Amino acid sequence: MKETVLNERDVRGEWKPGLAIGTSPLFQWPIKPLQIFNWLLGYPGYIFPWIGFFMLIPIFTWFFLTPDLISMKILEADWIAFVYFRNLVILFLIAGSFHLRLYVQKAQGIRYKFNKNWLLKGHSGFLFRNQTWDNIFWSSISGCGFWTAYEVLTYWAFANEIIPILNWESNPVYFLMLYFAVHPIREIHFYFTHRLLHWRPIYKKIHYLHHKNVNFGPWSGLAMHPIEHLLYFTGVVFHWIVLSHPIHAIFHLQHAALTTLWGHTGFEKLEISKNISIPKASDYFHYLHHRYFECNYGGGTFPLDKLFGSFHDGSDEANLIIRKRRKKIGK
């Protein structure tokens, strides 16, 4: 694989990580087991720090913050409201923490910030003329609402044995494998639904709302049109069909809701102190999608964008290809 070294900031003042984006070693030939191992379990890598962090939240949620499954056989307002407000608190804790440190306190200024500009205020294109408040509204009302609705229906179906429940004791290996498979399953679902959302008639009516956030922040990740939320969370249907446990469904929905907050922080690194920083605090791969629109529809682990000709590695050569493509189709 050819590695292109990028400058930290380009002529427009946009931050770029040190190297152009490469493909996952899982899909490189010849196979390099040590490289795959380091990519999978190294730091920073596929699991650590961020995906591993998001894998722990559903475990805590299921055991400590979820009503007993028996009590969810009947759709009642009390437990449904509990699930919604529990999700809302998780949403505010994660998005709010990122936003407070990076955009309110501005603790690290624009160091490692992809776009040197701050979020918009006094702009008529956003509700309340404020990008942050617009994003919070769509995330907490529509986003958290649809997330909760799918979760409630899933619990209800499990509780009434409409969906069979995977037993941990009898199938521990399959149980763990399925838990680790949630992330790649989510990526594949996201790629194809995302391509659908960029079909011109749907984009103009629905997906445009998310793409108002060219320069995004943590609350931008789940700021979508309600119809997009309806489609975005359909990945949980996988667990209605394939033998699963409710914890797999929780992880799938939380992955959809919460990793998008992390993916839209807008910063390559999160500085904890002067000497400590957490890498990959946002998704540069996805930032390029917001920057150029017709590229990087997936999550980066699977080479779907390369396969379908929509891959952008952050290099000037990739920018040139995008410009030529736009010129060809008259954009």
The H or E element that residue 325 is part of is helix 316-329
**Average pLDDT of the residues in 139-151:** 98
How many whole angstroms separate alpha carbon 138 and alpha carbon 2? Answer: 41
Structure tokens, 284: 């540069």
pLDDT > 70: percent of the chain:
96
Which carries the bigger pLDDT value, residue 283 or residue 196?
196
Kindly compute the dihedral angle of the four CA atoms of residues 256, 257, 258, 261, in this order, to the nearest 10 degrees.
Answer: 110
Condensed to tens digits (0 to 9), the pLDDT of residues 292-329 reads 988 999 988 889 999 998 999 988 888 888 777 766 65
Strands, E, within the chain: which ranges? 269-271, 277-279
Mean pLDDT of 110-115: 94
Average pLDDT estimate for 255-265: 97
What is the residue-averaged pLDDT of the chain? 93
What local confidence, expressed as pLDDT, does residue 155 receive? 98
Express each pLDDT in 178-212 by its tens digit: 999 999 999 999 999 999 999 999 999 999 999 99
Quote helix, strand, coil % in the chain, to nearest 5: 60, 5, 35
Q: Which of 42-46, 125-129, 160-164, 236-240 has the lowest mean pLDDT?
A: 42-46
Q: What is the pLDDT of residue 2?
A: 43
How far is residue 320 from each of residues 4, 20, 195, 285, 310, measured CA to CA in Å?
A: 15, 15, 22, 17, 13
147-175 pLDDT per residue, tens = 999 999 999 999 999 999 999 999 999 99
Q: Does residue 76 have a pLDDT over 90?
A: yes
Quickly state the pLDDT bin for 245 (edges 50, 70, 90).
very high
* Helices and strands, number each (H, E), in the chain: 14, 2
**Which is higher by pLDDT, 42 or 28?**
42
pLDDT for the residue numbered 263: 95
Helix residue ranges per DSSP H, 198-282: 200-202, 208-211, 226-232, 238-241, 246-263
pLDDT of res. 15: 86
